[in-house]
Homo-oligomer: A and B are copies of this chain.
């Protein structure tokens, strides 16, 4: 079993050295390089070919997110684990979109870090529980929170409305809510009438005006 080869990217020398010390004392981890900036990291990765890159977010020059974006594009085999103090959602999403496979806060303990490194190296992904919560909350609010409650829709109709807004078909709605397609059609008809709309597409467009941005698939 060969060691996991690590590259540490952080502009704080002391933190970097502390990490190196911590990781070198553990079997199975090998720090093969350190970089103090995004630019430096981009040069080092192709040469060193690390398994996992521990990347800080806030760095002068090319930030950790942008560095991750370029790095993962040019070197997909290198997994990036963001290691940061930033609890801001923007950074989390930016990092994910840039191709990061993990996002760990610096207040994590050594055990959590080692576990995260293992996970990321194994092709899995790991977020700090706090950041996982942020992610879930954003995905949950993908529906229509505030204005929806003022709509003249019944509870069940609101369920259907949410799914309609996401572009779901009658069949998908039926499966999701574990009711028949016939029932879904009834709800859809009532929703269209109450909102004075004429097609499910209009419902999605209508929802678009009601709330900002949602989820996903």
Contact = CB atoms under 8 A, between A and B. Distances in A.
B97 A140 contact: yes
- The interface residues of chain A, by DSSP majority, are classed as helix
A140 B206 CA distance: 17
Interface stretch (A5-13, A20-28, A48-56, A120-128): A120-128
A103 to B, nearest CB: 9
A215 interface: yes
A204 to B, nearest CB: 3
Given A164-B201, A167-B202, A217-B93, A132 B143 contact: no
A177 interface: yes
Given A132-B132, A204-B204, A169 B212 contact: no
B167 A93 contact: no
A133 B101 contact: yes
A154 interface: no
A182 interface: no
Interface string A204-217: 11111100111111
A85 interface: no
Interface string A108-131: 000000000001001111110110
8 contacts: A66-B176, A96-B139, A126-B129, A138-B216, A167-B201, A167-B205, A205-B214, A205-B217
Interface of A: 62-63, 65-66, 69, 89, 93-94, 96-97, 99-101, 119, 122-127, 129-130, 132-133, 135-136, 138-140, 142-144, 159, 162, 164-169, 176-178, 197-209, 212-217
